[in-house]
Amino acid sequence: MILSFLVYIFFNSSTNQFQFVQEHYNVQLFDIYLGVDGISIYFVLLTTIIMPIALLSNWNSIKENVKFYLNTILLLETLLLACFLVSDILLFYIFFESILPPLFLLIGLFGSSNKVRASYYFFLYTVWGSLFLLLAILAMYSIMGTTDFDALFKTNFDYTSQLILFGAIFLAFAVKTPTIFLNNWLLKAHVESPLGGSIILAGIVLKLSLYGIFRLILPVLPKATLDLTFIVYTIGVITIIYASFSTLRTVDVKELIAYSSVSHAAVYLIGAFSNTIQGIEGSITLGLAHGFVSSGLFICAGGILYDRSGTRMIYLYRGIAQLMPLFSILFFILSLGNCGAPLTLNFIGEFMSLYGMVEKLPFLGVLGSTSIVFSAAYTIYMFNRITFGGSFTKFFEENIFDTTKREFTLLFILVLFTVILGIYPSLILDTLHYSVVNLIYSY
């Protein structure tokens, strides 16, 4: 984490080139180049912030195979960082797929009652989707004879090839986002996963598709991207509406946060395809904001509340503010972030994403903007029902305790990033701007 912040401090935002490049020639078949640019640096920062929080969130709940659990989390962090650091499309795919076995074991060994079924759902869905990405990469290599990012950025594929490659790559990332009809695995994985697994899934893994769009679709397949934007927007809007209505009807607080993640992911997916500077910057900002807020909400729901009450049913909670005032304050700020309220990073990301959406396709942009209303509705319902709603029920013991120092520290860190970056978004946007401008004008 300290190294990633040092990289950010010494990063030169006036260029779109990879910086701090490390060359490794002693790997068989590959010359590995690791580096960061104005886009990947934020995903690296997000990973190094969220992973220690995910590790510490299960401090008391994981009692068996603790060493294996720790090694799995650290292996996941290494593979995720490699995804964001490599400058080769084939190596990106290798690390992209290498994340699946550790997550499969994390869910299958440390999850809830239906953990095995959930782990297989997650593994099969994502492997099936990634096969199309592998075929697209092999096709690119057969045409160009290289898998280097810089070489591919300068390549001009013919229109038919771009359409085919776009369809294959977008399908793989649509599974990871996930979009409508491809999101069954996410709900099962979130509900059955241990708390640390849910945090990693929502906070980082779902951002791999967003990062992949900026690496493999926008700069490499510009003509297909411009012509197929309407289809992407339609899928995104349907996903927003479907996920929002599903969220409104759920009674499981962890399911509610999972469906909320699908809705927010659809918003930053649409922003990424807006072909506007504001939309793309907003999609990255919203991705970072969602990583902080969703992680905090999962700690609140799957960690603090579930550890104390043994249930995730919203209708069983009532009057928690009387018993846990400190928790209620932190939960309130995170809920505001999930709503996209002003002075939070989510507000900046959603506003810029929706601006780019409306500017590109006004009608679908207006429909997509309903996510603001829906997110406010289900988040306010969740917060009000849990923290207020009268006196606490007999289901809870009167001596239920407030957040511990560990829980408070984890939540406070996430709240701090959400609020500080919401008040001073220039800390992100200034470094991001030059890389996004170059990405736009490379179309």
Q: State the pLDDT at residue 441.
A: 74
Q: State the pLDDT at residue 311.
A: 81
Rounded to a whole number of angstroms, the CA Rg of the chain reads 21
Tell me the three state secondary structure of residue 10: coil
Tell me the three state secondary structure of residue 36: strand
Q: State the pLDDT at residue 7.
A: 74
DSSP E strands, 5-125 = 19-27, 30-36
What are the φ/ψ torsions at residue 436 (nearest 5 degrees)?
-70, -40
CA distance linking residue 86 with residue 90, whole number of Å:
9
Q: State the pLDDT at residue 30.
A: 58
Half-sphere exposure of 38 (CA within 13 A, CB side): 21
**Cα-to-chain-centroid distance, residue 23:** 29
Beta carbons within 8 Å of 52's beta carbon, 6+ residues apart? 1
Q: State the pLDDT at residue 224.
A: 93
HEC letters along 285-345 = HHHHHHHHHHHHHHHHHHHHHHHHHCCCEHHHCCCHHHHCHHHHHHHHHHHHHHHCCCCCH
Q: State the pLDDT at residue 395.
A: 56
Q: State the pLDDT at residue 399.
A: 58
Q: State the pLDDT at residue 23.
A: 63
CA distance linking residue 61 with residue 30, whole number of Å:
41
HEC letters along 360-409 = HCHHHHHHHCHHHHHHHHHHHHHHHHHHCCCCCCCCCCCCCCCCCHHHHH
Residues of the chain whose pLDDT is less than 50?
none
Going by C-alpha positions, the residue among 46, 14, 5 that lies closest to residue 430 is 14
Q: What is the pTM of this model?
A: 0.93
Task: Classify the C-alpha dihedral 83-85-90-91 as positive or negative.
Answer: negative
Beta carbons within 8 Å of 307's beta carbon, 6+ residues apart? 60, 61
